[in-house]
């Protein structure tokens, strides 16, 4: 399969630069795979399209303020760090440096008034680096909350006035460098309404990594090297999914990150009772031809052309049908990407 087959035309003005004033007021394009029908709604209409007994699973990962701006200790030159993931040694992180060539091995970057420093200790495969910070654990977390900034995607040029709008209302587990954006539309009131309608909501964790920002560079999809992300599926969620599957109830995933976590877990889960938590690193790459074992339906935002996320949704819907739906969304002026509108695929 060729990557260029996942191109589509998107006017720049449809790339949402800020969230809607009210989370659940975003538009919702509903695609019924059985009837091939498209419906236009709003996210607060979600309960109308679900039924009692449906299992709704979302990603509770919380975005960390992963962008740090500092200066080289010796020259004062500006250096930007984007934290990607911690290493096994306390205080060590894989990062992106900008500009990378400005910092040599062993040199230090100073942040704030010297409360925190980072020392370059290794070059990693690709374009990432390993740095060691002068603090770790809860001390580092507190400094990061003070000195760091929210790592918004590069296509968002506007300043985010309220950083909490790049977090879901149920975000708990710190570790992502990008939000699981399909969940940004939920409100506590909407979650309560869903639960009152008999829809069970459960949470998994997948820490969203750098791959979210990276387009597929290979001409052939199969040649793309997928990034790794850490995930955890609690035993209670494993049990709930197994019970839903036995009784013929639907499992709906909130976002592609939830799909990645569940489909990864289901390929390695042990056939045992009681069920156990499943966690680890996944580099699963989902594209057309993939056989879903868990996902029956999906809530997702509109994704970038030639992205792995677009390919994942195509695996569930079909490439031609998905691109046709995107064409309708463009014609109807839906808002795209992280702060944009949503799709419900049934």
Query: In the prediction, which pLDDT does 182 show?
Result: 98
CATH architecture of the domain 67-147 equals Beta Barrel (2.40)
| pTM score | 0.93
Quick check: 202 and 236 in contact, CB under 8 A?
yes
Lowest-pLDDT choice from 63-67, 105-109, 158-162, 293-297: 158-162
| CATH 2.40.10.240 in the chain, residue ranges | 67-147
Mean pLDDT for 168-183 is 96
| CATH 3.40.1780.10 in the chain, residue ranges | 3-63+161-345
For 53-74, the pLDDT digits (tens) are: 999 999 999 999 999 999 999 8
Quote the strand ranges of the chain, DSSP E.
Answer: 27-32, 37-42, 55-59, 61-63, 67-72, 78-86, 92-98, 108-111, 116-123, 129-133, 173-176, 200-206, 229-233, 251-254, 278-282, 297-301, 342-345
For 153-171, the pLDDT digits (tens) are: 889 998 898 999 999 999 9
Lowest-pLDDT choice from 54-63, 98-107, 142-151: 98-107
Quick check: 174 and 141 in contact, CB under 8 A?
yes
CATH number, domain 3-63+161-345: 3.40.1780.10
């Amino acid at each position: 399969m060729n990557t260029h087959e996942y191109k589509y035309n998107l006017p720049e003005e449809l790339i949402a630069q800020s969230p809607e004033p009210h989370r659940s007021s975003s538009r919702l394009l509903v695609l019924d795979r059985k009837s091939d029908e498209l419906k236009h709604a709003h996210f607060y209409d979600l309960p109308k399209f679900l039924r009692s007994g449906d299992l709704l699973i979302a990603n509770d990962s919380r975005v960390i303020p992963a962008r740090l701006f500092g200066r080289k200790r010796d020259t004062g030159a500006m250096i930007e760090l984007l934290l990607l993931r911690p290493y096994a040694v306390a205080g060590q992180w894989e990062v992106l440096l900008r500009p990378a060539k400005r910092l040599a091995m062993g040199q230090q970057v100073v942040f704030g008034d010297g409360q925190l420093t980072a020392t370059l200790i290794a070059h990693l495969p690709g374009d990432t680096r390993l740095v060691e910070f002068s603090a770790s654990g809860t001390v580092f977390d507190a400094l990061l909350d003070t000195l760091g900034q929210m790592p918004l995607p590069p296509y968002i040029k506007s300043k985010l006035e309220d950083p909490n709008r790049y977090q879901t209302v149920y975000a708990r587990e710190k570790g992502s460098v990008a939000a699981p954006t399909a969940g940004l539309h939920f409100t506590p009131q909407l979650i309560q309404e869903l639960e009152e309608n008999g829809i069970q909501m459960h949470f998994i964790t997948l820490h969203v990594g750098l791959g979210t920002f990276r387009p597929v560079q290979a001409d052939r999809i199969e040649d793309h090297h997928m990034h790794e992300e850490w995930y955890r599926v609690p035993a209670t969620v494993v049990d709930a999914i197994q019970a839903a599957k036995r009784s013929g109830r639907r499992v709906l995933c909130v976002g592609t990150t939830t799909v990645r976590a569940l489909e990864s877990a289901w390929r390695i889960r042990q056939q045992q009772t009681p069920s156990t938590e499943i966690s680890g690193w996944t580099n699963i790459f989902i594209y057309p031809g993939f056989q879903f074992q868990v996902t029956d339906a999906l809530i997702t935002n509109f994704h970038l052309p030639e992205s792995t996320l677009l390919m994942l949704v195509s695996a569930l819907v079909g490439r031609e049908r998905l691109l046709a739906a995107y064409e309708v969304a463009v014609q109807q002026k839906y808002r795209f990407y992280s702060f944009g509108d949503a799709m419900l695929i049934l």
